[in-house]
Amino acid sequence: MKLAKKLTLATTGIFLALNILDIRNASAALITYDFNVVSSTFTGRGSFTFDDTTFSNDFTPAAKIQSLSFKFDNESIVYNKTDDINYPNFPLAFQTTLLTGNSTIGLDFVFDDKNPLSDLSYEIVGDDFTAFSRTDLNANPVFGTVSYTKVPEPATLAACLATCSVAFFAKRKGISLKKARA
């Protein structure tokens, strides 16, 4: 009987904790996405954060990026939001709908290579990546893809950890009770 009381109390505690965490998530609207760029010539990884309560009311809702970090693989140069050629109006996160009907987030970020000897510019728009020459109009651009992964919020991870911990201890307690009865 004591186990049932403890289990009920633990379940109630988790339920309340999850509801409190959901309230905090609603007010903390900073969303983070990781993204990967892949092309025949360039690969890279980055992340960006934006406030999803600031989406515009345009046909394609967009929000200014709060922070951004991107680095090509095997290079030490890190690009950030101030490297966008249209900063401070860009980069932007925008909502888009895929052909499958699923809604997703895309990035609009255009930046020049930081190497002073390079004439390359890079463009990330949604799931498309392009590298092109700013000076040689006859040079072939390089095309690639961009994929995005939403980073779980810390409160969501904490709630998941709390739930798993209670389930583990409840199961462990149940096993020890069965051994004691046997």
CB 35 within 8 A of CB 148: yes
Confidence of residue 41 (pLDDT cuts 50, 70, 90): very high
- Where do the domains of the chain lie? 27-176
Taking all residues of the chain, what is their mean pLDDT, rounded to a whole number?
A: 82
Task: Please answer whether residues 109 and 124 qualify as being in contact, where contact means their C-beta atoms are separated by less than 8 angstroms.
Answer: yes
- State both tokens at 124: 């990330």
Contact 162, 14 (CB under 8 A): yes
**pTM of the model as a whole:** 0.70
- For 20, phi then psi, to 5°, come to -65, -45
* Token representation of residue 132: 């092109």
Q: What is the pLDDT of residues 110-129, one digit of tens each?
A: 999 999 999 999 999 999 99
Bond into 91 cis (ω within 30): yes
CA atoms within 13 A on the CB side of 171: 6
pLDDT per residue as tens digits for the range 132-158: 999 999 999 999 999 999 999 875 444
Q: How confident is the model over 16-33, as pLDDT tens digits?
A: 555 544 444 455 589 999
